Amino acid sequence: MKYGVNVMRKNKCFIFYVAVFLTQFSVFGYAEPDHEEYAVTPYRPSVSSPAQLPSAGYLELEIGGLSTKTDSAKRHSTPYDFKLAFNEQWGAVITGEAIIQTDDGQGSRAYSFGDTLIVLKRAFVLDHESTFGVEAGIKIPTAKTSIGTGKEDYSFNSIFSHDFGAIHLDANFNLTHVGFVNDGESSIQTGEAASFAYSLNNKISLIAELSGVQRSGTDSTAQLLTAFTYSPSKVLTIDIGVASGLNRASQDYSIFFGAVLPVAELW
């Protein structure tokens, strides 16, 4: 018992110190890009992805902490994204969790690196207010089987983003071929998410999002996410928020925080 408590405390401390270090690094240690118009393009903290790509040639990092409670079970992780646009139409995203700690509340605990999702993204800019996007991804089973499924998943996501003045909409619909299924379960999973971000000014935004997942033979899940984002500069955005499950199959709640920042100007 003492070992599990110590591991959990270390994990939480690690997440905290990573966030503090990256924030300080971005504010004090990162040289601002040469192009004055450059600004980070946050994808977190919502479930839905925006159709827009980051500025071409800038490698951006998104990292944070996530704690989830479901009945007596708890899960703590450090999610991350690396994003890079090759040009105005094409880009790639690598997503994963650097550290995962699970506790089922019955004395069983697991500790692992997470699975890795590699996504190829295409953006279609319709006008200055609307963008359509598609994503094709493969999940590589890099986590221990005690945490991950040990199988590849294949996904396709369609995105529509639109600006209504100070309100930005990201709407997603995705299909996933799940590699690991139990008897009586479908291998096809659908997911929907709609995120609304309201800009109070050029530094502060409020986010509300509804999302859900369905797969035949399993219970559907749904959640409501609310978040606050703050951008002290064009090269850093910080977020904090909470997500609440909307049915019995969903988590009780999740608490998260994170940051988005550039780590390299490649061209």
Structural domain for 68, as ranges: 2-265
pTM: 0.87
Task: Look at residue 117 in the predicted model and tell me its pLDDT.
Answer: 98
Summarised one tens digit per residue, pLDDT across range 177-216 is: 999 999 999 999 999 999 999 999 999 999 999 999 999 9
- Whether omega for the bond prior to residue 45 falls within 30 degrees of 0, making it cis, is yes
Task: Look at residue 107 in the predicted model and tell me its pLDDT.
Answer: 86
Q: Amino acid identity of 173?
A: F
Has residue 29 got a pLDDT over 70?
no
How does residue 40 score in pLDDT terms, banded at 50, 70 and 90? very high
Has residue 167 got a pLDDT over 80?
yes
Has residue 243 got a pLDDT over 80?
yes
Mean of pLDDT over the chain: 90
Has residue 17 got a pLDDT over 60?
no
| pLDDT-above-70 percentage for the chain | 87
**Residue range 54-82: average pLDDT?**
96
* Number of domains comprising the chain: 1
Summarised one tens digit per residue, pLDDT across range 111-164 is: 999 999 999 999 999 999 999 999 999 999 999 988 999 999 999 999 999 999
CATH code of the domain containing 161: 2.40.160.40
